[in-house]
Amino acid sequence: MPSPQIDIHHIAKLSRLALSEEEAVQYQGQLNRILGHIDQLSTYQLDAEPSAHAMPIFDVIRPDIARPGFTQEEALSNAPRRAMDQFQIPKVME
Amino acid sequence: MSLANSTIATLRQRLLAKEISPRDIVTDVAKAIDTQNASIGAYLSWDLEKALKEADQADVSQPLGGIPIGIKDNMNVIGEPCTCGSRMLAENYTAPYDAGAIVKLRSAGAVPFGRLNMDEFAMGSSTENSALGVTRNPRDLERIPGGSSGGSAAAVAGNLAIATLGSDTGGSIRQPAALCGCVGLKPTYGRISRYGLVAFASSLDQIGPITKTVEDSAILLNHLCGKDARDSTSLDVSVPDFTSALGKDIKGLRIGLPKEYFISGIHAGVSAAVNAAIKKLEALGAIPVEISLPHTDVGVSTYYIIAPAEASANLARFDGVRYGHRSAAAADLMEHYMMSREEGFGPEVKRRILLGTYVLSSGYYDAYYLKAQRARTLIRQDFEQAFEKVDVIVSPTSPTPAHKLGALKDNPLAAYLEDIFTIPVNLAGLPAISVPCGTALEDGKSLPVGLQIIGKPLDEMTLIRVADAFEKA
């Protein structure tokens, strides 16, 4: 596994973080050092099956029956902005 | 003596004997907070009036009736804040429901009281990543309490709480318990519902108790475990009475000593304390067995791929729309997302979101995430093979005692490497407990050291049996 230089601006955009230029420089250096360490994994013969979880539980389903959830008021209670009993976001269409 | 200094076991006896009331306990805990929280900083907030009301209504005939329990500030308790130590949730979030673990506590009669400081979104091992305040180690106020459940451990160690809940993703219950000198138990993954625990790394996170004694740990665990339909990873298995493991001997029990864990680089005082603890276990009749966990050295790398990857997905929910900080400056939707998150998250959280996004991004998934998942299998298999030969595995909880505040501030990698003994346990989903095992001398100060005892999946009983025998010897 090579140690590529992170394109921090691209990753920040994917992460939805408006990093300052100062932060970008700092994180680029730190992440490259962390990845440099993580690259030790490439020196190992890793031929095991991948585990997503420690416990072998799969396909947990519940009965398809309606059950109580939040009321509209409860769901909206922490919204930073609301209008007409809905979440409000910046305009997306002209 | 203030009732805040007591254990659950003692308070329960006194409540049943009608010597004290739940109100007396809550009042004494609140007094301890009033006088000491300014210097220790364990609590971010507490609602005395609400707790007194609940204490007055508590049914002391219930197993935890009238016992106040401090809660790490990443578990939802209805009507209370849940900041996760972050600006993101500090301004305007009030929990609209109780977490699964809180429902369990309440049904046993306990009173959730107070919100405990933590590394932001549980990312860190010192509580210095909290955006909302500094927590200090009650054993030495110039030092960190550990983390991420630093407030939970500091409150117990400083007698600002009877017992608390923490959460553990890579050691966040055990390490602060070790550094502050209390008992911290991370149960098997799936034992306790994660519903209402704000997710950091979903395949690793687990709630557990931080207490003054092993007995209290067993008592609390009895009323936290069990299947919850709202957490699909919670296990549908029977819950034993964990207190029945107390007061038993450990003669003939095989104790695994992983040769990879007893290495140079461990603080000399920690080494000495842990070696003395092993001698003590031997004197109690346990049989030490050298074992090997050959993939120990890839644990940290594996963790710092998997945990940030899961975190980057989990924290995508903080979009400034449904809850949390919303930037006032954004002109359009993309800017709204980017600026709300930029303003709301602190440096360690951003670092891990960036790292997680990178390892999951197109072209790197196989090189990092898939490889880490394969390594995770090997780490789990290491433990499976070891547990064919031994009943429990012991190690230091942390390679060093508590650092001074700020010591690892600018070196995140060095801080990550300190999690070497706790991380593999989460990757393998195993239960583990940290119990105090003496002190290590540093700069003329005696600082607490923790002994980590790791068990087979769902075998918390043996952990409690060993830890209790050790504690009482």
Structural domain B1-473, CATH architecture: Alpha-Beta Complex (3.90)
Q: Which residues in chain B are contacts of A57 at CB distance < 8 A? A: 190, 232-233, 235
Report the residue from A41, A49, A52 with minimal CB separation from B371: A41
Contact B94 A77 (CB under 8 A): yes
Residues of B annotated catalytic, as ranges:
72, 148, 172
Helices (H) then strands (E): counts for chain B: 16, 11
B342 touches A: beta carbon within 8 Å: yes
- pLDDT at A43 (0 to 100): 80
Find, in chain A, the residue whose alpha carbon is nearest to that of B310.
A52
pLDDT of residue A91: 86
Q: Please state the domain extents for chain B.
A: 1-473
The 8-class DSSP code of residue B331 comes to S
pLDDT band at A2 (very low <50, low <70, confident <90, very high): very low
Kindly report the average pLDDT of chain A as a whole number.
88
* pLDDT tens-place string over residues B142-164: 999 999 999 999 999 999 999 99
Give the closest-approach CA distance of B8 to chain A in angstroms: 32
Give the largest CA-CA distance in chain A.
Answer: 58
Q: Contact B235/A23, CB-based, under 8 Å?
A: no
pLDDT in tens, A23-39: 999 999 999 999 998 98
B429·A54 Cβ contact <8 A: yes
- Any chain B CB within 8 A of the CB of A67? no
Instruction: Report the pLDDT value the prediction gives residue B19, as an integer from 0 to 100.
Output: 98
Angstrom distance (rounded) from CA B467 to CA B247? 10
Shortest distance between the Cα of A44 and any Cα of chain B, in A, equals 9
- In which residue are the tokens 């990178």 written? B358
DSSP state of B168: E
Distances (CA, A) of B226 to B72, B74, B178, B180, B354: 20, 20, 27, 29, 35
B window 371-390, beta carbon within 8 A of A: 371-378, 380-381
Q: Is B313 on the interface with A (CB under 8 A)?
A: no
| Pairing status of strand B392-396 against strand B254-258 | parallel
Chain B residues lying within 8 Å of A72, measured CB to CB:
none
For residue B296, the 8-state DSSP code is G
pLDDT band for position B24 (cuts 50, 70, 90): very high
Prediction ipTM score: 0.93
Residue A3 clears pLDDT 80, i.e. is over it:
no
Does A90 touch chain B if contact means CB atoms closer than 8 Å? yes
pLDDT for the residue numbered A52: 82
First to last CA, chain B: 26
3-state secondary structure labels for all residues of A34-76: HHHHHHHHHHCCCCCCCCCCCCCCCCCCCCCCCCCCCCHHHHH
Paired tokens of B409: 């501030």
Alpha-carbon gap, residue B231 to B228, rounded angstroms = 6
Category of A16 on φ-ψ map: left (φ > 0), alpha (ψ -120 to 50) or beta: left
Out of B298, B350, B429, closest to residue A44 by CB: B298
- CB B43 within 8 Å of CB B149: no
Q: Do B331 and A70 touch (CB under 8 A)?
A: no
pLDDT, chain B, mean:
97
Element (H, E) at B150: helix B150-157
Give the nearest chain B residue to A45 (CA atoms).
B375
**CB proximity B289 to A under 8 Å:** no
Reported confidence tier of residue B310, pLDDT bands at 50, 70, 90: very high
At B227, the pLDDT band (50, 70, 90 cuts) reads: very high
- Residue type for position B259: K
